[in-house]
Amino acid sequence: MPSASDLRLFVEAARLGSLSAAARRLGRTPAAASATLKRLEAELGVRLIERSTRALRLTGEGALYRDRVAQGLVLLDEAEEVLRRQRDEVAGEIRLAAPVDLVRVWLRSVLDDFQARHPRVSFTLLAGDAMRHLVSEPLDLAIRYGELADSGLVARRLYDGRRVVVGAPSYLARRGRPAQPSDLPAHNCLAFFTHGAPHRRWSFRRGRRAVAVQVPGDRTSDDGGLIREWALAGYGLAYKSELDVRADIAAGRLEPILRDWQGELSPLNAVFPGSGPRPVRVRRLVDYVRERLRAWT
């Protein structure tokens, strides 16, 4: 099939009545334009132009072809313009997944504000702690805690956070406050079920010293929001991302434990299905989430 650029040269030459003028207008040399026309005629198997020293003249087949091709190029230009507008416009559906706690305590209001700024954006939000398959769902992005394990995905770091041990004032008044990680086995520790097993080996660092403690507990769930609710209700201690409990700590509903120790890394990433350009609405959302995280933290 002839290329669009070759067809544009032919239509422009017919309009101007000069192959060299069409070549200049489209940024080609006369020799290249002549070669293009010969290639086009060879591909079609017909003569499109009768050449003379003074001007070119379309053959009957050339005039018929010019009329149809000109219409097609108009449609092609319109289609490209539609794509350009969509590429540059913040509009359309964004499908994303995010952890339950993050959605409830922070992300929901961020999405509300983003949509108020860009009313032509719509959201499909899958709130859950399970790792969803971005391609088969399909999703535009997922917001996830932890390091990226799937090499088929692309991540953009949103925030470098850590886990923190927290407990409700009612629990601490009843059971006491751990002073160091080795005190944790004497407490009821609420475990998040991840990667097929309860996360009951809690790691900490202070300076050069690193420790890992196996913690007991009578409640385990794969729902991070439920772990937080149990902690708020005073059922035990939770090892949560600081982002998930920041508002609870500020309000006094939960208190941080072992503040002299650093908890495990819990980075927050925007994860995309494969490489390639992202729709402008997705790029703008990720930028906005990063801006709000910087302002919040």
Q: What does the pLDDT look like over 166-208, one tens digit per residue?
A: 999 999 999 999 999 999 999 999 999 877 789 999 999 999 9
Q: Does the pLDDT of residue 137 top 70, yes or no? A: no
Residue 246 CB neighbour total at 10 angstroms:
18
For the stretch 232-268, pLDDT in tens is: 999 999 999 998 899 899 999 999 999 999 999 989 9
List the Cα angle 35/37/43 in 5-degree steps. 100
CB of 239 closer than 8 Å to CB of 167 = no
The reported pLDDT for the residue numbered 85 is 63
Domains of the chain plus CATH, in order, are: 4-88 (1.10.10.10), 92-160+267-296 (3.40.190.10), 163-263 (3.40.190.290)
What is the pTM for the complete model shown?
Answer: 0.64
Query: Which residues contact residue 99 at a Cβ distance below 8 angstroms, ignoring those fewer than 6 apart?
Result: 127, 128, 129, 143, 144, 145, 224, 244
